[in-house]
Amino acid sequence: MTSSFEDREITVALLGAGTVGAQTGRLLNQTEADLTPRVGARLRLTAVAALDPENPREGIDPAIFTNDAKAVATSGADIVIELMGGIEPARTLILDAIAAGSSVVTANKALLAAHGAELQAAADEAGVDLFFEASVAGAIPLLRPLRESLAGDRVTKVMGIVNGSTNYMLTKMDEEGVTYEEIFDEARALGYLEANASLDIDGHDAAAKAAILAELAFHTQVTIDDVYCEGISQVTADDVRAAQAMGFVIKLLAIAERAPGDAGVIVRVHPTMVPRSHPLASVRLSFNAVFVQAEAADELMFYGRGAGGVPTASAILGDVVVAARNRVTGSIGPSRNVYAELPVLPISEARTRFYVNLDVADRPGVLAAIADAFAQHGVSIQVVRQDGHGDNAGLIVRTHLANEEALERTVAHLRGMDEVKAVLGVMRVEGEAGD
Amino acid sequence: MTSSFEDREITVALLGAGTVGAQTGRLLNQTEADLTPRVGARLRLTAVAALDPENPREGIDPAIFTNDAKAVATSGADIVIELMGGIEPARTLILDAIAAGSSVVTANKALLAAHGAELQAAADEAGVDLFFEASVAGAIPLLRPLRESLAGDRVTKVMGIVNGSTNYMLTKMDEEGVTYEEIFDEARALGYLEANASLDIDGHDAAAKAAILAELAFHTQVTIDDVYCEGISQVTADDVRAAQAMGFVIKLLAIAERAPGDAGVIVRVHPTMVPRSHPLASVRLSFNAVFVQAEAADELMFYGRGAGGVPTASAILGDVVVAARNRVTGSIGPSRNVYAELPVLPISEARTRFYVNLDVADRPGVLAAIADAFAQHGVSIQVVRQDGHGDNAGLIVRTHLANEEALERTVAHLRGMDEVKAVLGVMRVEGEAGD
């Protein structure tokens, strides 16, 4: 610690050399000279584990490639970056690296959402850093602000657009009026969807990120199994038009919030109607954003690229710089091992506003009958909009805050009514003033 | 460091008990129990210096108030929070606190913009933290992400809406069509303007924040005197209408950017036309936001409350928690003392797009003559829009990237032309694709 920058070296080993891994290695080598004064030492990439080590990656010395990931993980590098993805062998290799005294930087959302607490406990035990800024919302600095800048505040709700593929699809449906089926085919053709498209469109990718966000915002252990998850495949052109008519837009949101009465935490992913004036409404195409409500800070939003090799590499390198600086100064970053341990509650405990789109008979008394159905189940109506006549008579209802069960009972009741020809759509609504 | 949380105490002293100071003290006391596990020690507010110490503040023990600021600054508290504002005595008191071994948290933008480097050097010398998250964009976690999360990236441009009062005024001019004079009177009546309104409307407040942003983004010393500054008092209803006609909105932006060829840094504050599809365009009323372009991360934006006692107190408390944790672990945060020392260049080195609004004679050949005037000075026209006929013939020109001097020469030329009855407005344009 008394030596000058040039004498001190921080070694970095990389597990995985796919798109993000290759960009991270290249960017590290390219910016190393700039980073030296910020780190207080030189960063040196010492080893890269890849499935195809003989394939050269631009900007990385071919001689440091190997297919022996175990050897790289246990090499005792100051910092091990894990970018393989998936649960195993990533989990074991990270635990190996921690046991060897390395600080770890990872972007592995699936692993963190399943085993985050175990990895953090191992890192705390070993006195090393475990950083994962890139695991949620790619390049957006988000986890560090949540951990650090809001450390003296109390977060009440987090709402994120954390899956760029589905946001791209919903943006096109909104702006160009294409159907879900049309845009699904386009997104697949453009390579915007994971090989297993269900990870995107059914909300599983967003759910893993929701678990990580919830854990950081509420200092509570949350796994992906705790997250209610509903994708966008049921979003219809009718829903999009109804949202537009009301001045709303549909977004797939990952939401983590304190339950009423502070009884616990509720974490959910589902298509959501958001007012056009809300900051999340203007997040278009493949961009990501996370909106945070905190008691003192009020409303915050963080916006940027959620994916892509280079943007994600930027976030990883930010973590590497902080971890390296901590090695140089002999400190470690704030750990998460202090949990508030709020219970994670099911979505049935949530209270939200709802939109209900009904195809109704065009005759006198229909509105009164429908209003009565809502009232019978204790669901209070905020706005009703009547459109069309005759065979195309439609009714769009937006409710005040209601609980899930009451809404479900209401919808079942509506489906059984003579006056209702069809329930065209039901969706949760967020982001209105007063929520 | 081996003791349990409850045994360890971090003392906090507060200089200044105005709106933000009183809220900070109250919030610290109110959340102290929640913060203990995050800090690893109990936080205790030991002293508050106020001009009126006999006036009680809700949630703060009256017995710890004093009007002896010097005694509070030199009390040797672990952390001294400076919220007095202004240059002196704040500067001397902070230097006193640093000399006494205290870490310092401040929200004093004017002081940082004038003497930031001196204070940082003193803190580095003494091995204590100097944090100032609340000095720019109030509650928005921004400085820490710039210092930490983007530490491995290369920022190319920062554009911020950092003055809520002028953003409120410009939003009302855009959305309600009121004139500058009308909204100025309303903003003053609502108490939205500083006692010296010039600080807001002439851009001085934004310029101080621009200097702090530039320093952090480019690791270069920038003072407020280096910042080109132009306020909103010349923004007319004509400009607002012209912006709307082109799909733009007018914002007062604080901009810091790398000069062409990486020759230095240019820092400027002026009214700016921004496309409606740009994330900054949807930042309404008194909200703040800072948009960042970085080589790897691409586009980022941070949005939230820029002012207000409680939101600002949240940012201050975030800094206090990090500084306190550093005291507990015996480390200090990243310092800024490593400067790249890029030269700060005048705005004449900047290249921007411009909007020029002309009242022209309605006769054949006018457009050709005006296009020729632009061409003579090497300014390339991107879009021309012709409106009206006869006495109300108008021409709105938007240019490609041009330098300030060429534009000035063009405007002087236009003013001297028979075909031009008046130059109604000239404004810089930012945020278009390809910039």
Q: What pLDDT is attached to residue A249? A: 96
Among the partner residues B37, B318, B329, nearest to A338 by beta-carbon distance:
B37
Q: What pLDDT is attached to residue A143? A: 82
Please give the mean pLDDT across all residues of chain A: 90
Q: What pLDDT is attached to residue B4? A: 54
Torsions phi, psi for A233 (to 5 deg): -70, -15
Q: Quickly list H helices, A40-139.
A: 69-73, 90-99, 109-126
Q: With contacts defined as CB-CB under 8 Å, which chain B residues touch A148?
A: 141, 144, 148, 318, 321-322
Partner-chain contact A314 B332, CB within 8 Å: no
**pLDDT, tens digit, for every residue of A287-321?**
999 999 999 889 999 999 988 889 999 999 999 99
CA distance B253 to chain A (A): 18
CATH class of A5-139+309-329: alpha beta
Partner-chain contact B31 A317, CB within 8 Å: no
CA distance B134 to chain A (A): 10
CA distance B190 to chain A (A): 21
CATH of A143-305, one of 3.40.80.10, 3.30.420.130, 3.40.50.360, 3.30.360.10: 3.30.360.10
CATH number 3.40.50.1860 given to A351-429? no
**pLDDT, tens digit, for every residue of B234-292?**
999 999 999 999 999 999 999 999 998 888 999 999 999 999 989 999 999 999 999 99
Partner-chain contact B320 A37, CB within 8 Å: no
Burial of B6 (0-12, 13-18, 19+ CB in 10 A): exposed
> Is the distance from CB of A278 to CB of A140 less than 8 angstroms?
no
Check pLDDT > 60 for residue A1: no
Specify the amino acid at residue B37.
Answer: P
The string of DSSP codes covering B29-91 is HHHHHHHHHHHTSEEEEEEEE-SSTTS--TTS-GGGEES-HHHHHTS--SEEEE---SSTTHH
Among the partner residues A297, A305, A330, nearest to B297 by beta-carbon distance:
A305
Partner-chain contact A152 B31, CB within 8 Å: yes
Check pLDDT > 70 for residue A205: yes
**pLDDT, tens digit, for every residue of B125-159?**
999 999 999 998 888 888 888 877 787 788 999 99
Which H or E run contains A281?
A: none
- Packing angle, helices A19-39 and A309-329, rounded to 10: 40
Check pLDDT > 80 for residue A412: yes
Percent of chain A with pLDDT over 70: 96
Specify the amino acid at residue B30.
Answer: Q
Residue with the bigger pLDDT between B348 and A387: it is B348
- Check if B209 is active-site: yes
**pLDDT, tens digit, for every residue of B177-221?**
999 999 999 999 988 888 889 999 999 999 999 999 998 888 888
Partner-chain contact B152 A28, CB within 8 Å: yes
Q: Quickly list H helices, B100-203.
A: 109-126, 143-144, 164-176, 180-189, 198-201
A125-139, A146-160, A275-289, B321-335: lowest mean pLDDT where?
B321-335
Specify the amino acid at residue A399.
Answer: T
User: pTM to 2 decimals?
Assistant: 0.88
Distance, CA of A387 to CA of A245 (rounded, Å): 10
**pLDDT, tens digit, for every residue of A220-264?**
889 999 999 999 999 999 999 999 999 999 999 999 999 988 889
Q: With contacts defined as CB-CB under 8 Å, which chain A residues touch B315?
A: 149, 297
Distance, CA of A112 to CA of A117 (rounded, Å): 8
Partner-chain contact B322 A151, CB within 8 Å: yes
> Is the distance from CB of A393 to CB of A419 less than 8 angstroms?
no
**pLDDT, tens digit, for every residue of A64-77?**
999 999 999 999 99
- Residue A3's pLDDT band (cuts 50, 70, 90): very low
Tokens read off for A69: 């990931």
Residue with the bigger pLDDT between B383 and A149: it is B383
Q: What pLDDT is attached to residue A2? A: 40
- How many CB pairs lie under 8 A apart between chains A and B? 192
A18-22, A155-159, B285-289, B341-345: lowest mean pLDDT where?
B341-345
Burial of A51 (0-12, 13-18, 19+ CB in 10 A): exposed
- In Å, what is the CA distance from A72 to each residue of A66, A81, A105? 8, 10, 14
Distance, CA of B49 to CA of B47 (rounded, Å): 7
Per-domain residue ranges for chain A? 5-139+309-329, 143-305, 351-429
Q: Which residues of A are catalytic?
A: 209
Q: Which residue of B has its CA nearest to A35?
A: B152
Partner-chain contact A314 B322, CB within 8 Å: no
Q: What pLDDT is attached to residue A5? A: 56
Q: What pLDDT is attached to residue B6? A: 57
- Region A370-386 average pLDDT: 93
Q: Which residue of A has its CA nearest to B288?
A: A300
Among the partner residues A144, A279, A332, nearest to B149 by beta-carbon distance:
A144
Distance, CA of B51 to CA of B30 (rounded, Å): 23
- Region A331-350 average pLDDT: 73
- Region A194-211 average pLDDT: 93
Beta bridge partners of B49: B15, B66
Domain spanning B350-429, CATH architecture? 2-Layer Sandwich (3.30)
Beta bridge partners of B42: B9
Partner-chain contact A35 B133, CB within 8 Å: no
Please give the mean pLDDT across all residues of chain B: 90
- Region B391-405 average pLDDT: 89
Among the partner residues A141, A283, A326, nearest to B150 by beta-carbon distance:
A141
Structure-token match 């800090």, residue found: B39
CA distance B389 to chain A (A): 35
Q: Which of B70, B109, B157, B209 is catalytic?
A: B209
- Residue A150's pLDDT band (cuts 50, 70, 90): confident
- Residue B335's pLDDT band (cuts 50, 70, 90): low
- Residue B336's pLDDT band (cuts 50, 70, 90): very low
Among the partner residues A279, A287, A297, nearest to B311 by beta-carbon distance:
A297
Structure-token match 């948009």, residue found: B291
Check pLDDT > 70 for residue A178: yes
Q: What pLDDT is attached to residue B261? A: 82
